[in-house]
Structures are given as C-alpha cells and as structure tokens.
Structure 1
C-alpha cells in the first residue's frame, strides 16, 4: 500500500487528491501546516509527501527544503516530494526546493495519479 502525506490547508485540494489517490492500494493522510510535515514524516514514513505551495505558516518550498536538510543530516528519512504549484512560473521554486516533481493546479485525477507514479517510479 502506498502512503501519501498531503500538506495543505485547502479542503478542495485535499478532496481532489484524496479522490484521485484514495483506494485500496493507497492511503492519504493530511497535515494542515508546513511545520507539521517533518514530525509526520518521522512518525509515518510516507512513500511520498505532496506539498501545497501555499500552506499556512511555512510554505511548500520551505517545507521541502526542511525535509531535504533534515534527511541530509540523518534526522529524517529520505522522502519523495511532489509540489502543487499555483502557476507555471512557480516551477522555478519547485526546482530550487529540490522537489522530486510538481503539478500545476487546477488538479485532475489523472494528472495527480501520473505525477505520483512518476515521483515514486
């Protein structure tokens, strides 16, 4: 079973990702703030973290960089990260954050499934 950790404070983003990925083959859990992601990764060890670019108090870029730095220091497991972007211009931010992949909103089920498969592949 694939475990997906979704970091978003948007109910519509959660609903779209859960509808696309929620099945017998995968489980979607959620945190609502970037500062919660590191602890959730340490506790749950998800296969992939999906990070919304705009999440309260610690955005997706900072969250991704935090995961990368903590993993490099051996204080967190290596984790694949897929960023959800607001516009094409944000691809630069995803690359700077060392994200494994990205998807520009609005989301559709097929795009979410393909992006997660590519990040995990």
Structure 2
C-alpha cells in the first residue's frame, strides 16, 4: 500500500480515482488545485504524487517544477493526449511517468507500483570518476556531495552502470527502468537522460559519462 497525493481539479475524476486507488490498497489524499496540492505536500509527505496537467491557477507543470526544486518525490502526470506537447514539457519538468486520459485505474495502479519499485538492492560501490554509486545505501555522490536523484533517475543510472560500455536501445531502457513491455514512448528515456546528465555530468551539453549512441540509444562510458 502506498500513500498518494492526487492533484486533480475535475470532481468526478478525482472522486473516481480516490475510490479506485483506495480499492487497490492505497491511501489517498487529494487536492483540486496546484496551490492546495503544494500545501498538502507541506503538511504531510506522500510516497508519490499523481498530478493532472490542466489545473486552475498554477498548472501541473509548475507544480512539478516546484516539487523538483527541493524534492525527489516520484511524480506521475495525468495528461489528455499521448502525442501532446504536454508530455514533453511534463517530462522535462521532472515527471517520472505519465498516464493518458481517459484513465484506467488498473493502468494507473500498475504505473504507481512500478515507480515505487525502482530500487535495485546490491552491496557494492561503483566509481565513475568523481561520481560514486553506493548500491547498498542507494546513494549517489559527486565530488563527495550527495546528489538528489529521483527513483527513476537512480534506476536509470544503475541500469546503465550495470552494463558499462554497452549500448542500450531506448526500448531496452523502457523495459529495464519503466517496465514497459510494449513499444513505449522513447521521450520518457530521453527526458530522464537529460535530467540525469544535468546532475552527474560536469558539462551536461558535452557529456562524457552518459553517451548518446546515434540511432540506438545510450551507453555509459566509465572514465579512463
């Protein structure tokens, strides 16, 4: 069971999702606006935020950005169209995944459980130049300072580090990190790589650790 914060302005959708997610075993608190959602977040910390894009007042993108300034809390966006610019902007704002409306509660529940499972227990240290992954503590440091990675960013870094020097396609990464067993949206991968590079690379625009393999996907190259 997870403790969820649902931010959705449509009364019918919000009530329906509260009921459906409650039946799946989750505890849900909800808010109808972005401002109210952020206030709820200050009062109590959920395990995950389910966030609608179209909200009155501050929209879902801005809510996502404000959460990401200080927190690595998992976020799943609710968006109206899979091919919309909403998806790209949402992922670049820091969301971990998205679900397209009309929402099927079982699909949303599966995405929630997948995001919350994104940890890989292990007992070794991985050193990548000035970046060190402590796999037992699930902590990543750069130059001795802990990086604030979201669960998805951490899982992506771990999967790439497990296969150092190996080119992984976007579809492989979707399966490994997001557990999508179908031809999923490669924008999930690209946006997460972009956010991860901003944290682990010295010059994100000229990455030396997480390389793009043209026409394939990405490869982690350990420093010489």
Regarding TM over 0.5, the answer is yes
CA displacement, residues 24-53 of structure 1 (integer Å, 9 cap, x when unaligned): 832111111101222211211001111100
Match of 2:79 among 79, 85, 106: 85
Corresponding residue number in structure 2 for 1:95: 91
Corresponding residue number in structure 2 for 1:74: none
* TM-score, scaled to structure 2: 0.48
Corresponding residue number in structure 2 for 1:107: 103
Give the greater-gyration-radius structure (CA): 2
The 8 Å contact of residues 20 and 108 in structure 1, kept in 2 or not, is answered as no
Corresponding residue number in structure 1 for 2:17: 17
Name segments (4+ residues, structure 1) moved above 3 Å.
none
The 8 Å contact of residues 75 and 96 in structure 2, kept in 1 or not, is answered as yes
* 5+ residue gaps, structure 2: 118-224
Q: CA deviation at 1:15?
A: 2.6
Corresponding residue number in structure 1 for 2:26: 26
3-state SS, counterpart of residue 18 of structure 2: helix
3-state SS, counterpart of residue 30 of structure 1: strand
* 5+ residue gaps, structure 1: 72-77
Q: CA deviation at 1:16?
A: 3.1
The 8 Å contact of residues 8 and 30 in structure 1, kept in 2 or not, is answered as yes
Aligned residue runs from structure 1 range 3-82, under 5 A: 3-23=3-23, 25-71=25-71, 78-82=72-76
Q: Which has the higher contact order (CA 8 A, sep 6+)?
A: 1
* TM-score, scaled to structure 1: 0.86
Please give the alpha-carbon distance, in whole angstroms, between the structure 2 residues aligned to 1:30 and 1:95: 22
| Higher alpha-carbon deviation: 34-43 or 3-12 | 34-43
The 8 Å contact of residues 4 and 27 in structure 1, kept in 2 or not, is answered as yes
| Higher alpha-carbon deviation: 91-100 or 22-31 | 22-31
Please give the alpha-carbon distance, in whole angstroms, between the structure 2 residues aligned to 1:41 and 1:100: 18
Aligned length: 115
